[in-house]
Amino acid sequence: NAGVTQTPKFQVLKTGQSMTLQCAQDMNHEYMSWYRQDPGMGLRLIHYSVGAGITDQGEVPNGYNVSRSTTEDFPLRLLSAAPSQTSVYFCASSYDAGTISTGELFFGEGSRLTVL
Identity of the amino acid at 73: D
Question: Cα separation of 34 and 47, whole Å?
Answer: 6
DSSP structure class, residue 53: T
Residue closer to another protein, measured from CB, 31 or 64: 31
Residue closer to another protein, measured from CB, 37 or 67: 37
| Contact flag: residue 95 with another protein (CB under 8 A) | no
11 Cβ contact list (under 8 Å, min separation 6):
19, 21, 111, 112, 113, 114
Task: Please identify, among the stretches 19-27, 69-77, 79-87, 102-110, the one whose residues bind another protein according to the rule CB under 8 A.
Answer: 102-110
Residue closer to another protein, measured from CB, 3 or 51: 3
Full DSSP string of 67-83:
--SSSSB--EEESS--G
Q: To the nearest whole angstrom, how small is the minimum distance from the Cβ of residue 103 to another protein?
A: 4
| Contact flag: residue 2 with another protein (CB under 8 A) | no
Q: What is the DSSP pairing of strand 64-66 with strand 76-78?
A: antiparallel
**In the range 9-68, which residues lie near another protein by CB under 8 A?**
40-45
Q: To the nearest whole angstrom, how small is the minimum distance from the Cβ of residue 9 to another protein?
A: 9
Under the rule (CB under 8 A), what is the footprint of another protein?
Answer: 4, 40-45, 90, 92, 100-110
